[in-house]
Amino acid sequence: MSENELEKKDMERFPYASAVGSLMYAQVCTRPDIAYIVGMLGRYLSNPGMDHWKKAKRVMRYLQRTKDYMLTYRRSSHLEIVGYSDFDFAGCLDSRRSTSGYIFMLAGGAVSWKSVKQTLVASSTMEAEFIACYEASNHGIWLRNFVTQLRIVDGIEKPLRINCDNKAAELYSKNNRSSSKSKHIDIQVLGCERESSESSSID
């Protein structure tokens, strides 16, 4: 048997899928701080290695050390949903795709978050950040509409604020011109982003 086959056979002794499933449950419910690493571990459910198992156990130990962490919210007369987006550029070594991440805050606490591999292959950090902002914007608009329709609050401040750390992506989203270097993301992403910006849904 090859070394890979031996490792795969050895991994049958460990409940990797069950462990990652438990981590996913914790991440979805109350732990946005482990969203990125849990997403990475989830990519190897069909063929995990010993390194993946060790990393999963490290996350479990981290959760044990920080079991007193909790999401907190404060009373406020100025309700505003604020989003933050970020990315890792070409972080997936197999596909060269980047990973997007976003988190939304309301009343001083996190209310929604996600870490997911991008469907497009970005050729620059600007494109990767722009795609991340687009995904965050889509979810942010849905989230604000959802909270408004609940009718449990008087109102949500507008426009929706999305924070990112790439000025080039910000300028590109507000520019009416596209280029040959970025045309592969224009149709899927840019149209929706501009529509949201023009309707003052996003700042």
Residues 86-127 have pLDDT tens digits of: 988 877 777 888 999 999 999 999 999 999 999 888 888 888
- Say yes or no: domain 82-198 is CATH 2.10.110: no
Please tell me whether the peptide bond between 15 and the residue prior to it is cis, using omega within 30 degrees of 0.
no
Q: DSSP 3-state assignment of 100?
A: strand
Indicate yes or no: pTM above 0.85: no
Q: pLDDT tens for residues 130-153?
A: 888 889 989 998 998 888 888 766
Domain residues of the chain, as ranges? 3-65, 82-198
Tokens 């050390």 belong to residue: 65
d(CA 115, CA 166): 18
